Structure 1
């Protein structure tokens, strides 16, 4: 099965972190995730995450660092999820695909019902930046 490269961003709004909830019409309905999307042909990882965040959330971010990627096999597809640490820069947050969002502290993030591929990224992030 082909592995699809997908970017995501842990976006900091000051001391809070953005998590978004997938809509009931998306794959993995109502699961929480870090926003992002598929890399288009010829696109760099950083260009992809900036484009996806603007398309999905109407905001601009500054990418700070690439984190450790995770490969995850779902029943019908396989992804390599490539996370970035990022800071909110500008724009009014507006959901275009997702059903909900939360600006959460680390303790609140742990309690969300995460998409399986995002869980190891969240855990790795929290390990490196303890509560």
Structure 2
């Protein structure tokens, strides 16, 4: 069985007193999720998450301490995938999507983002991220 590991981040922004979340639409299969990608040799999980967010959205994300959610799944019988998500924000939200991999993006409220996400696992990550931010008083 092959194993792949990816890392990414739930990127948020507080705008007019509301938390907005960034979701991206994959050009490859059309699903909506969060910026993420494969860990490269010598990278930490955090390095990978920051790099992938930057590559896919042009956002230099600052990750918050204390949030790390892992999802595991088997896209086929020969592949075990693990995805690690962090949460973070940025001072600048000048989104420029990586056209080779990303078709579109939204920066939307929790409810709008939740409805847009394709997979239940990503919806669960969003729910945990939102609870985490509310617990912090954000």
**TM tier, shorter chain?**
0.7 to 0.9
Going by fraction, where is helix more abundant, 1 or 2? 2
The residue correspondences of 1:47-62 to structure 2 (distance < 5 A) are: 47-62=47-62
Shift of the 64–127 alpha-carbon distance from structure 1 to 2, 3 Å rule, reads: closer
Number of residues paired by the alignment? 126
Residue in structure 2 matched with residue 69 of structure 1 by the alignment: 70
Give the TM-score, by structure 1 length. 0.83
The SS at the match of 1:74 is strand
CA contact (8 A) 1:2 1:78 kept: yes
Q: Deviations over 1:73-125 (max 9, x none)?
A: 11263311101010123362101121111111111122114245424323433
User: Could you list the runs of 5+ residues in structure 1 that have no partner in the other structure?
Assistant: none
Give the TM-score, by structure 2 length. 0.79
CA contact (8 A) 1:81 1:117 kept: no
Partner Cα separation in structure 1 for residue 30 and residue 81 of structure 2 = 19
Are 1:90 and 2:92 counterparts? yes
User: Could you list the runs of 5+ residues in structure 2 that have no partner in the other structure?
Assistant: none
The SS at the match of 2:55 is helix
The SS at the match of 1:80 is strand
